[in-house]
Amino acid sequence: MRPAIALGRAYVGDSPYWKRQLNQNNFESLGLGGKLLRALNDVGYEQPTPIQARAIPTLLEGRDLLGVAQTGTGKTAAFALPVLQRLDDANQRAQSKRPRALVLAPTRELAMQIAEEFATYGRYTKLRHAVVFGGVGQRPQVNALRKGVDVLVATPGRLLDLAGQGHLDLSAVSVLVLDEADRLLDMGFVRDVKRIVSQTPNTRQSLLFSATMPKEVVSLAQEMLKDPVRVDVSPKQMTLREVDQRVVMVNNADKRDVLRHLLHDDDVSRAIVFTRTKHGANRLAKQLGNDGIVAEAIHGNKSQGARQRALANFKNGDAWVLVATDIAARGIDIDGVSHVFNYELPHEPESYVHRIGRTARAGATGVAWSLVDPSERGRLRAVERLIKHTPREVVVELPDRELATIQRMDPQPESRQGPDNQRPRRSSSQGRSNGNRAGGRRPRRRTRRRAA
């Protein structure tokens, strides 16, 4: 029998409320009902993570919550389980076009992942869920909303489109969740998020989760949360404990050779390689393929179908390297990633934390390599200041030649020449087909004169 919990307050007396506060070593002690416990048992969940142990009882009481946590900490279950419990206890039927709970996510991949977890945890309830996002036809999404859904997971753009067309009414939302709030704001969704929040009832329960807390997120939290409980699992400290961070100082022209050498290490079983640009991700994945390394590329310009196929191939092992922009640094939960490679350091140091957080998940260990050109020294220093840690610098010697360390090299961002004023050697496998010299300069187009 489920412990007696009322939204907004907890019954004490002969209820096990106080016992739960002293013993939170299992999900039953958190106040979850039998249907959810049965689903958790099916997937082998035995002990709650720190954020689950602290967030679930608070949310079952009906309190607003501000959670500081990155993916991999179990935060999806931390909000999905109490949301499902609340909706199931209410025993109400979802009305057409009027969802009872709304979860906002910044990307299509994260929205799909959250929806899958709601389906897993709620398999023994009669609650219905749907997921809406752009890049695909809206008719199946409209049909699902028309039938009535209890939990709606959505990206902001498509959600507002459907609401503007009259396919969606947010006036019945009793629980609103913002996941990856800092990423939502980074992607320019701040106005959309505020418009969505304004369309929900003031009596709603609100949850906001963010991996970082810049001033924009703090301002948004102050606007939408009422006397929230803050749960902070210190993601940066966790990252430092779990990930072996290494730096290789190397010219841009030599990065591909170094990456190929590191990927062939026997310890690398599944790796994500991060680039700064979409074009760079495509080019590098193609080059790795030419080198005999099965790689997939994923970024914002890929169609939804292509992105899903790339992730599926990476998850099932058909491809063991995923080349990605920062769209995959947040919200993509892939187990078994042994190594992360920063082929290029990110513009924002916070993205470094999210990138290397793709490895060392669920208690495992992981390795994060950063290939740093002299022009990226400033970005490396910014990362070190943020994480309050200096990654270990490693000198890599390639089989065919010794890679010169640049500890004493004069950093000149615009220079295209290597050490000793020699132009960097172009790899034999990097032909003219890619249209770029080793130093990054596009060759002149030659035109053939017609005979007179």
Higher-confidence position of 280 and 1: 280
Are 161 and 110 within 8 A, CB to CB? no
- Across 59-63, 383-387, 397-401, 412-416, the highest mean pLDDT is recorded for 59-63
Q: pLDDT band for position 213 (50/70/90)?
A: confident
Could you tell me what percent of the chain has a pLDDT over 70? 78
Of the spans 59-68, 181-190, 330-339, 440-449, which averages the highest pLDDT? 59-68
- State the residue for tokens 């009322």: 6
Coil, strand or helix at 304: helix
Whether residue 429 has pLDDT greater than 70: no
Is the pLDDT assigned to residue 311 strictly greater than 50?
yes
pLDDT band at 329 (very low <50, low <70, confident <90, very high): low
User: According to the model, what pLDDT value does residue 135 have?
Assistant: 85
Is pLDDT above 50 for 452?
no
pLDDT band at 14 (very low <50, low <70, confident <90, very high): very low
β-strands 9-10, 5-6: how paired? antiparallel
Q: What is the pLDDT, as a whole number, of residue 234?
A: 58
The whole-number pLDDT of residue 400 equals 59
Q: Which is more confidently placed, 237 or 32?
A: 32
Distance CA 36, CA 401 (A): 58
Indicate if the pLDDT at residue 361 is higher than 90: no
Burial (CB count within 10 angstroms: exposed 0-12, middle 13-18, buried 19+), residue 449: exposed
| 8 A C-beta contact, residue 376 and residue 394 | no
pLDDT at 335: 79
The CATH class, in words, for 5-233 is alpha beta
- Residue 241: what pLDDT? 66
The helix (run of H) or strand (run of E) holding residue 260 is helix 252-263
C-alpha to C-alpha distance for 249 and 229, rounded to whole angstroms: 44
pLDDT: is 339 or 382 the higher one?
Answer: 339
Average pLDDT over residues 254-272: 94
Of 3-7, 40-44, 120-124, 446-450, minimum mean pLDDT range: 3-7
Mean pLDDT of the chain: 81
Q: Are 49 and 73 in contact (CB under 8 A)?
A: yes
Strands, sheet with 175-178, edge to edge from the N-terminal-most edge strand:
129-132, 151-154, 101-104, 175-178, 205-210, 65-68, 229-232
CATH 3.40.50.300 residue window(s) in the chain: 5-233, 237-415
One CATH from 3.20.80.10, 3.40.50.620, 3.40.50.300, 3.40.50.2300 for 237-415: 3.40.50.300
Taking 90 as the threshold, does the pLDDT of residue 230 lie above it?
A: yes
Task: Specify the range with the lowest mean pLDDT, choosing from 35-44, 235-244, 291-300, 398-407.
Answer: 398-407
Instruction: Specify the pLDDT at position 448.
Output: 38
The whole-number average pLDDT for the span 180-193 is: 88
Where does the pLDDT of residue 359 fall: very low under 50, low under 70, confident under 90, or very high at 90 and above? confident
How buried is 272 (Cβ within 10 angstroms: 0-12 exposed, 13-18 middle, 19+ buried)? Answer: buried
What is residue 138's three-state secondary structure? coil
Token pair of 226, please? 């009422």
- Per-residue pLDDT at 240: 62
